[in-house]
């Protein structure tokens, strides 16, 4: 019972703490806004407008609890929408076709995971030219991928996620020219990586492992490990860690020389009564080809798909965007739901939250609205006053929510690890500030239109009439 009470207090305390830190910038914004308007009230061209605008700020301070709750509700909902839209934006980006330097991916046609014989590698790497005039892909514009995973502990009961490592077996030097995200590395990181890959080119046992994975395995550069094959059962490889990949996008994987894996597969029969490894003819998983443009892609794709070499198993050639799109097909319903159900539902809820808060405020202030009308304020000015208050809450909460979320997720946490295949951790999109401001303001506007309309329709004679 005591521990339940403890955790309950921890949760409540955390929520209160987060709310407090979320509210602080909001109150700072209100204070700065009102102070600025008061200062502007001394300048004649904008004096009256500044005074009118400051009335909106003052009205928000009328019931701080209600204003804070409306702000926090929008704040939380904007965080969710911004997160969802960031993921959707990233998926849209990776599934949209590029115009130049397209990447063609060759995989097995009818099976996932793709498992092709390594014998396909040489001709596929050139784009499968068959006759004169066919497009030939240069050696530095192609890369083969083989996947080798395993544990660094031999005994089953000691094997866990912490000592599991997953390698891309390839030509190490091509990491620098073909891998996505290399341009994000700092010059120093690039220099260190290049040095390590040069060693891996010459020494097939040399490997480069991501910093996050090294931390999980409690290993460092300079140490040696033995990886007991998981997908290649019976193949255990001793490796020397000569470098590390930076945290983040490639932080969990390793790069090894493909010759090491292929040599181990070739040597397997000698230690297994002449029997070939079950994956001996299935070790090639992907081939990447860089082509100049969509026309080049069409030519290479045609060359590969019409070649009689790749029939058992058959292969397919698609752009990276299309490939990712196909892979995402399994998540199509989920993505559709996020885009067309979840996001609109959240936006509607936000509008309702604002509508509720503003309606209560307007109902409480009918007398004040009537006084303003009596003094000569026009209905459109009353409407503007109420809309302005709603827009202030919506826009400020949206902007702060998206901005703070971006700073926290991208700047401090370094992205949210999504754990889907090779996708990196997801970051909040650069547009998030604009999204937050827009959806906060727009939903506040939609939610406050009706209450503002009823406010401007207050009949002064009715409000001040005596009961007969």
Residues of the shown chain interacting with other proteins in the complex, contacts defined by CB under 8 A: 41-44, 47-48, 51-52, 55, 58-59, 61-62, 367-368, 370-379, 460-461, 464-468
CB closer to other proteins out of 449 and 460: 460
CB closer to other proteins out of 52 and 445: 52
Task: Tell me how crowded residue 366 is: count the other CB atoms within 10 A of its CB.
Answer: 14
Minimum CB separation of residue 62 from other proteins in Å reads: 5
Task: Tell me how crowded residue 208 is: count the other CB atoms within 10 A of its CB.
Answer: 25
CB closer to other proteins out of 1 and 375: 375
CB closer to other proteins out of 49 and 345: 49
Minimum CB separation of residue 464 from other proteins in Å reads: 7
Minimum CB separation of residue 370 from other proteins in Å reads: 8
Minimum CB separation of residue 459 from other proteins in Å reads: 8
What would the two tokens of residue 174 be? 């091509």
CB closer to other proteins out of 87 and 387: 387
Minimum CB separation of residue 361 from other proteins in Å reads: 12
Q: For residues 384 and 452, what is the distance between their CA atoms, to the nearest angstrom? A: 8
DSSP H stretches of helix in 2-109:
2-40, 44-60, 64-94
CB closer to other proteins out of 61 and 272: 61
Q: For residues 294 and 87, what is the distance between their CA atoms, to the nearest angstrom? A: 27
Buried b (16+ CB within 10 A) or exposed e, 244-274: bbbbbbbbbbbbbbbebbbebbeebeeeeee
Sign of CA dihedral 227, 229, 232, 237: positive
Minimum CB separation of residue 372 from other proteins in Å reads: 8
Name the residue among 452, 336, 437, 456 with its Cα closest to residue 394.
437
Q: How far, in Å, are 80, 229, 250, 413 from residue 398 at the CA level?
A: 11, 49, 32, 21
Name the residue among 259, 244, 158, 179 with its Cα closest to residue 208.
244
Q: How far, in Å, are 75, 267, 375, 459 from residue 378 at the CA level?
A: 33, 90, 9, 12
CB closer to other proteins out of 41 and 182: 41
> Is 288:177 a contact under the CB 8 Å cutoff?
no
Minimum CB separation of residue 66 from other proteins in Å reads: 14
CB closer to other proteins out of 384 and 399: 384
Minimum CB separation of residue 395 from other proteins in Å reads: 20
């Amino acid at each position: 019972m005591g521990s339940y009470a403890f955790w309950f207090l921890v949760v409540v305390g955390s929520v209160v703490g987060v709310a407090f830190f979320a509210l602080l910038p909001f109150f700072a914004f209100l204070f700065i806004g009102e102070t600025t308007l008061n200062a502007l009230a001394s300048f004649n061209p904008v004096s009256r407008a500044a005074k009118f605008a400051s009335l909106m700020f003052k009205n928000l301070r009328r019931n701080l609890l209600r204003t804070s709750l409306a702000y926090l509700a929008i704040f939380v909902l904007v965080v969710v929408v911004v997160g969802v839209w960031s993921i959707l934006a990233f998926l849209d980006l990776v599934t949209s076709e590029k115009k130049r330097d397209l990447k063609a991916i060759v995989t097995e046609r009818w099976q996932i995971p793709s498992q092709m014989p390594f014998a396909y590698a040489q001709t596929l790497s050139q784009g499968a030219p068959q006759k004169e005039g066919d497009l030939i892909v240069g050696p530095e514009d192609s890369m083969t991928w083989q996947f080798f995973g395993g544990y660094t502990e031999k005994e089953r009961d000691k094997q866990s996620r912490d000592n599991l490592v997953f390698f891309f077996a390839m030509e190490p030097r091509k990491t620098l020219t073909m891998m996505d995200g290399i341009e994000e590395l700092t010059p120093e990181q690039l220099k260190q990586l290049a040095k390590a890959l040069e060693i891996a080119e010459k020494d097939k046992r040399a490997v480069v492992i991501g910093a996050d994975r090294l931390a999980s395995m409690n290993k460092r550069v300079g140490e040696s490990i033995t990886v007991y094959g998981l997908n290649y059962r019976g193949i255990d490889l001793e490796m020397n860690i000569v470098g590390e990949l930076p945290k983040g996008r490639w932080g969990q994987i390793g790069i090894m020389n493909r010759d090491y894996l292929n040599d181990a597969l070739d040597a397997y029969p000698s230690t297994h009564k002449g029997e070939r490894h079950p994956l001996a003819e299935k070790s090639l998983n992907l081939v990447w080809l860089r082509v100049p443009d969509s026309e080049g892609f069409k030519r290479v794709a045609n060359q590969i798909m019409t070649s009689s070499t790749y029939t058992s198993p058959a292969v397919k050639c698609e752009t990276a965007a299309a490939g990712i799109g196909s892979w995402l097909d399994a998540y199509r319903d989920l993505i559709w739901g996020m885009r067309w159900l979840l996001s609109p539902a959240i936006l509607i809820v936000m509008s309702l939250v604002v509508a509720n808060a503003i309606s209560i405020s307007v109902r409480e202030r009918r007398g004040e609205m009537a006084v303003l009308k009596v003094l000569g304020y026009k209905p459109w000015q009353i409407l503007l006053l109420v809309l302005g208050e709603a827009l202030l809450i919506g826009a400020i909460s949206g902007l702060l929510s998206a901005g703070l979320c971006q700073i926290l997720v991208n700047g401090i946490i370094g992205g949210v690890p999504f754990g889907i295949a090779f996708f990196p951790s997801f970051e909040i999109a650069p547009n998030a500030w604009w999204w937050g401001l827009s959806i906060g303001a727009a939903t506040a506007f939609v939610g406050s239109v009706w209450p503002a309309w009823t406010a401007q329709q207050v009949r002064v004679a009715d409000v001040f009439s005596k009961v007969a």
